[in-house]
């Protein structure tokens, strides 16, 4: 699908600072991948690398807001304000359901929209060669560790062996699977932007899929399928049947789900216990007083004991981003996320919107990317590269002129 875009309008917000942004992106991307690569092998580096990234995100977001704020960035700033507003009753007015205030967790929540502001501000400043290098090396390293490292045992009794974890901890495969699915999409976007050769890209995507199957990453495979289906929809939505397929499929899914829930047996155990966990939280949310209902129970209120997951040594979250947000930040938090997504939707193009759709669908079934500070910048990078893929440039570095319209 051909798209005509004025590249100058994309770049105006950071013309004067493109060189600075290029340097900052080089530093931030390098730190992000070092953080991911060393998370399991060198735990001592976690805090300093995470701290350096946090400082970069705060400083660069403030700079880009001052240089030339745009409507889409205002939406992200508003989402930050709404999250802060949601925290006040729980943590400073006595309405909280959790003891104390976890400032580091609160900061991670606020950093997500802020990092999007500066990483998406100037896609033509992206260090393409560095992204290409880390994409290739990252997938190969992940595959090597997955196939040669000790297996991770999952399941109720931790007897289900999976491939070795690459990042996010030695005892869980979920962060590794999320990392890999973002790498898959990033590589696909580089190919679409003619920044990676198709044979190499197809080979790396195939390797990602093999490892994801070894992780049994069902939720991540939902992300991949949703991403490609969204691309098909945007390409062919002039056809009436395809244009109306999303609401039709949604109605069919809801109807089938309601019938299954009414007629099924032991429904609470479905989805590895997810249905029961969701039902448990919905009852808690519905029975809240008005203030916790609107503003939530506070940061980490969702990490609670749940009957279906009583095997866990400590509380676990809902495995549903939307319920997680309502538990922590109430309806105001849900509005904050919707505001952030609306701002991002107005900023990115077709490929980026396909990523957002995949993220929104994936978030119904898992602790998705709203809860992944380890991978948050990688998600922002994917969205920024999606804009570069739509622009369809040659390799662009700050010393080069912007490609013609």
96: tokens are: 């909280």
Between 234-243, 310-319, 350-359, the lowest mean confidence (pLDDT) is in: 310-319
SS3 172: coil
pLDDT above 80 (res 313)? no
Range 111-138 average pLDDT: 91
Cα distances (angstroms) measured from residue 107 to each of 227, 229, 267, 360: 29, 34, 37, 22
d(CA 236, CA 215): 33
CB 285 within 8 A of CB 256: no
Residue 127 structure tokens:
């260090």
* CA atoms of 344 and 336, how far apart (whole Å): 12
Q: From CA 349, how far away is CA 331, in angstroms rounded?
A: 28
Close Cβ partners of 339 (under 8 Å, ≥ 6 residues apart): 75, 76, 78, 79, 82
3-class SS of residue 319 = coil
> What gap in Å lies between CA 260 and CA 266, rounded to an integer?
11
Phi/psi at 304 (5° precision)? -130, 165
Mean pLDDT, all residues of the chain? 84
DSSP letter for 230, please: H
Q: What pLDDT does residue 285 have?
A: 92
Q: Tell me: the pLDDT tens digits for 89-102?
A: 999 888 888 888 88
- The two counts, helices (H) then strands (E), for the chain are 16, 2
Mean pLDDT of the region 244-262 = 85
d(CA 121, CA 119): 6
Q: Could you report the per-residue pLDDT of 41-77, keeping only the tens digit for each?
A: 888 988 899 889 989 999 999 988 888 788 999 999 9
What was the pLDDT predicted at 311? 61
167: number of Cβ within 10 Å: 23
Q: What is the pLDDT of residues 8-21, one digit of tens each?
A: 444 444 455 678 88
Cβ count within 10 A of residue 99 = 8
pLDDT tens, 156-193? 556 678 889 888 887 788 889 999 999 999 999 999 98
């Amino acid at each position: 699908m051909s798209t005509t875009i004025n590249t100058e309008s994309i770049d105006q917000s950071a013309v004067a600072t493109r060189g600075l942004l290029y340097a900052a992106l080089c530093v931030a991307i390098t730190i992000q991948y070092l953080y991911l690569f060393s998370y399991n092998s060198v735990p001592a580096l976690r805090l300093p690398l995470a701290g350096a990234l946090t400082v970069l995100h705060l400083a660069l977001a403030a700079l880009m807001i001052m240089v030339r704020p745009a409507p889409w960035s205002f939406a992200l700033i508003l989402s930050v304000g709404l999250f802060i507003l949601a925290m006040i009753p729980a943590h400073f007015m006595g309405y909280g359901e959790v003891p104390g205030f976890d400032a580091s967790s609160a900061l991670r929540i606020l950093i997500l929209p802020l990092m999007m502001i500066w990483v998406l501000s100037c896609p033509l400043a992206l260090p393409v060669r560095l992204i290409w290098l880390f994409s290739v090396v990252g997938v190969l390293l992940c595959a090597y560790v997955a196939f040669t490292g000790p297996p991770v045992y999952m399941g109720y009794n931790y007897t289900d062996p999976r491939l070795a974890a690459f990042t996010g901890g030695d005892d869980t495969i979920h962060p590794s699977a999320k990392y890999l699915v973002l790498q898959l999409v990033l590589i696909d976007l580089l190919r679409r932007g003619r920044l990676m050769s198709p044979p190499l890209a197809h080979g790396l995507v195939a390797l990602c899929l093999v490892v994801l199957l070894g992780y049994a990453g069902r939720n991540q495979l939902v992300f991949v399928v949703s991403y490609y289906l969204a691309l098909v929809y945007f390409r062919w939505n002039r056809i009436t049947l395809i244009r109306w397929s999303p609401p039709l499929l949604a109605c069919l899914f809801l109807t089938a789900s309601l019938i299954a829930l009414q007629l099924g047996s032991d429904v609470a155990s479905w989805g590895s216990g997810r249905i029961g966990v969701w039902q448990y939280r919905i009852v808690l949310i519905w029975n809240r007083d008005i203030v916790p209902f609107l503003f939530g129970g506070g940061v980490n209120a969702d990490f609670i004991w749940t009957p279906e997951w009583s095997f866990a040594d400590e509380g676990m979250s809902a495995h549903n981003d939307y319920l997680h947000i309502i538990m922590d930040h109430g309806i105001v938090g849900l509005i904050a996320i919707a505001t952030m997504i609306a701002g991002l939707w107005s900023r990115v193009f077709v490929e980026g919107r396909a990523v957002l759709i995949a993220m929104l669908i994936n978030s119904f079934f898992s602790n998705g990317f709203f809860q992944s500070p380890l991978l948050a910048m990688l998600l922002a990078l994917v969205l920024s590269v999606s804009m570069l893929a739509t622009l369809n440039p040659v390799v662009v570095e700050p010393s080069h002129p912007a490609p013609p319209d």
